[in-house]
Structure 1
Amino acid sequence: MMAVFRTLRRNVPYLKQQLCALLGNTSNSVKLICFVVLISYALSYWDLAVEVISVTPGYIMPPLRLWSLFTFCFMEIHFWEVLIDIVTVGLCGKLIEPLWGPVEMLTFFAIVNFGVGILTTTFYFILYYCLNDIQCLYNVYIHGLAGYIAGVSVAVKQIMPDLVIIKTPLGKLSNRNVPLSVFFLSLIFKIVGLVDGTYPTMYFLGLIVSWIYLRFYQKHSNGTRGDMADYFTFASFFPNVIQPPITIISNSIYNGLVKIGICKRNLRKFDMTNPSGVTISVSNMDQHDMERRRQIALKALSERLSKSYSDKQPLLPLSGSTANVSLPPVVAQNREESSTSQNVQEAVSIPIPSTPAVKATSEDT
């Protein structure tokens, strides 16, 4: 324990510098979340605090520890998980908050974490009834921002789906592949023992909750809700090989939800009576998707043009420019001499009247 504190004390200046660079120009809500996570990590060395702040399935029923559904997301046991949480929340403040606004970002934070707490508790109740193991109720502590990390990966996939993160010999890793890749990585970490047993469950349920909210219920500035784009279907999270069966299953569930009124069907109208041709009226959600893609394309084009302009600056100013360019002494001297000689020639040049031609004699030769 003392060695850990000594290591942290030596790296405090570096960590402070990196955190200031990450959290700079972010909202107060982002900084508050990071601060509460750090305070909760300090309390994690007290076992009673871990039990009180975390969700224990057997104690969640009212009037016991119902408040833990609102506090469990801030509790982390491992310091490297705290760093991942802070980096995730900071990137959310840099990438997502400027597009959504601080209120929508906090709404997304609350909905995802609360939904993950409810569904994870339900999962361990089902596990208890299947295994008849009392430890599933009273020896399990649900805590951390694993569900919110999954939600941020889904939101980044929605905003920038085609952005390539890294190129490998096996192919390109883009934002489309991040959510499912991190889920399988969490399973490996669970087998190795780097994360708790609840981490993969919370992450997977975070994928489900965040996708449902962003797909059907998120309210946009133009009054529409959700994002019914084709690239944001549930099957798009999986590899292309297994997308057809996933599409059949997800469409069947979606049609069932539409029949009972939980979801609304996305309709496209075709006007065949238009004499000038066929008029297609796309939904507002598709228009929102096209507008978002247009803004991202314009931003990328602007950055590329500014970079190209900075790389191709002229070495000398254009004619009529007032910029001063320092030249080497020899070049400057030669330039002054040529300018002086040119001025002298212009001043001495006097027109001479033409005279009749004189016949050359032998003395001229």
Structure 2
Amino acid sequence: MPMMKNLQQQASIAVGNSSVVVKTVAVLLVFGYFLTFIHSITDHITVTPGHFAWVWTYASHSFIELHFWDVIIDIAVIILCGKLLEPLWGAMDMLIFYVVVTTFVAIATQFLYLSLYMVTKNVEYLFDTHICGQAGFIAGFSVAVKQVMPDHVLLASPFGKLRNTHIPLLLLIVAITLRLCQLLEGPYPFMFGFGILISWIYLRFYQKHGNGNRGDMGDNFSFASFFPSQLQPIISILSNTIFLALVKVKICKKPQRKYDISSSSTIQITLPGTDPQDAERRRQVALKALNERLSKSDQGPKWPSLDDEEASKSSESSGADAKKVEGKSKYRICSVTNPRLQRKQERTRGEQNTRFMINVMFIQCVEYVNLF
């Protein structure tokens, strides 16, 4: 059929133009699908909650899919990831993201089923459950797209606009619904939910950027931003409380702010992560106000005119032009070397530096409040 040939041609072009990482993952997915026809091998290449010693399954489970349509979906997501994220991150960072998400999703899902066994004493949770597939990475990909293009409109309808920022929670609801309808395997919704959480933690706090900073502390990538606007205030309170508790027990670290003072009138503030539009706009407003304050403080009190005073004195004494010039220079030298004047100038500079530091601390406090 012409349509099928066209689809095959487009798929081959997409895979052919992809990087080595994308091609390798796609080939391993196809190979892993054919391995599922050998039932004796399946148990040894998927994560089973009751088998802790099979550590190699944390690396192999993501390439094992039990249905061919899942393989097609996984390959499509990998190709999209290569087109959207790899040009921004690079192949190595994309591979690190893949390994981190899939590995920790498997570990978290395994411990969840162990907890279910401890509560229910149902042995099926230990040895009849197989954790495999790319559900966690698909969730992580949706989170990464939300970070990169949060306001991109996917669908405009009479009910509102569907944006990338809505996709992770929407897909999770769809996965839970399909599981309740017995259309998905048991671990799938759990893996998807852990994929959202783990990918957000990695991108929020640990991903290393080219400028040496880590994470993305933008307001549009806070944990509350995954939820509807009506629930965001409540979620923000809970997430901030949990984060501060983790900082207190030294599991997490406070984000570091770096202030580069290039001159006495301007400041350049560098924050970790990307620069979202809302944070950049807020920084520009703060910097504008700070620069206005500093420019006003730099304009010190105007001293009385020395020329008029010297002119009157010299005209009274001699009236000669040469003596008037000499008197001016002598008076200015005395004024510069006057200890009282020097102390007053030093106090003025000290007050300016104090006001400058107070303004810097004010901006730091504003940025810390907007952490989540």
Mapping for residues 234-313 of structure 1, pairs under 5 Å: 234-266=223-255, 282-285=269-272, 288-290=274-276
Contact 1:269/1:280 (<8 A) preserved: no
Superimposed CA distance per residue, residues 154-182 of structure 1 (whole angstroms, 9 cap, x where no aligned partner): 00000000000011221111000000000
Report whether the alignment pairs 1:141 with 2:130: yes
- Say which SS state the counterpart of residue 66 (structure 2) adopts: coil
| C-alpha displacement of 1:266 | 3.3
Aligned to 1:192: 181
Contact 2:139/2:196 (<8 A) preserved: yes
TM-score (norm 1): 0.71
Distance 2:183 2:276 in 1: 41
| C-alpha displacement of 1:15 | 5.0
Distance 2:157 2:175 in 1: 20
Note closer, same or farther for the CA distance 1:185–1:47 as it changes in structure 2 (3 Å cut): same
Mapping for residues 161-200 of structure 1, pairs under 5 Å: 161-200=150-189
1:156 aligned to which of 133, 136, 145: 145
Note closer, same or farther for the CA distance 1:121–1:291 as it changes in structure 2 (3 Å cut): same
Aligned to 2:35: 43
Report the structure number with the largest CA radius of gyration: 1
Q: Which moved more, 1:47-56 or 1:199-208?
A: 47-56
Distance 1:151 1:121 in 2: 18
Aligned AA for 2:272? Answer: M
- Say which SS state the counterpart of residue 184 (structure 1) adopts: helix
Distance 2:127 2:77 in 1: 30
- Say which SS state the counterpart of residue 42 (structure 1) adopts: helix
Aligned to 1:24: 16
- Say which SS state the counterpart of residue 161 (structure 1) adopts: coil
> After the TM superposition, which segments of 4 or more aligned residues of structure 1 sit over 4 Å from their partners?
9-15, 267-271, 290-294
| C-alpha displacement of 1:244 | 1.2
Note closer, same or farther for the CA distance 1:221–1:292 as it changes in structure 2 (3 Å cut): farther
- Say which SS state the counterpart of residue 152 (structure 1) adopts: helix
Aligned AA for 2:159? Answer: L
Contact 2:218/2:279 (<8 A) preserved: no
Note closer, same or farther for the CA distance 1:69–1:267 as it changes in structure 2 (3 Å cut): closer
Contact 1:22/1:87 (<8 A) preserved: no
Distance 2:170 2:142 in 1: 10
Distance 1:13 1:151 in 2: 32
Report whether the alignment pairs 1:130 with 2:142: no
Aligned AA for 1:289? Answer: D
Aligned to 2:332: none
Distance 1:204 1:115 in 2: 12
Distance 1:15 1:55 in 2: 34
Distance 1:245 1:129 in 2: 32
- Say which SS state the counterpart of residue 37 (structure 2) adopts: coil
Aligned to 1:91: 80
Aligned AA for 2:118? Answer: Y
Superimposed CA distance per residue, residues 101-159 of structure 1 (whole angstroms, 9 cap, x where no aligned partner): 00000000000000001100000001111111111101100000000001100000000
RMSD of the alignment, in Å?
2.6
Superimposed CA distance per residue, residues 256-293 of structure 1 (whole angstroms, 9 cap, x where no aligned partner): 1212223222366899xx985xx66534326x325999
Superimposed CA distance per residue, residues 200-253 of structure 1 (whole angstroms, 9 cap, x where no aligned partner): 000000011100000000000000000000110001000011111111111011
- Say which SS state the counterpart of residue 176 (structure 1) adopts: helix
Aligned to 2:367: none
| C-alpha displacement of 1:43 | 1.7
- Say which SS state the counterpart of residue 172 (structure 1) adopts: strand
Contact 1:229/1:285 (<8 A) preserved: no
Q: Which runs of 5+ in 2 are unaligned?
A: 281-372
Aligned AA for 1:154? Answer: V
| C-alpha displacement of 1:11 | 8.9
**Percent of aligned pairs with the same amino acid:** 44
Distance 1:235 1:292 in 2: 16
Aligned AA for 1:264? Answer: K
Aligned AA for 2:271? Answer: N
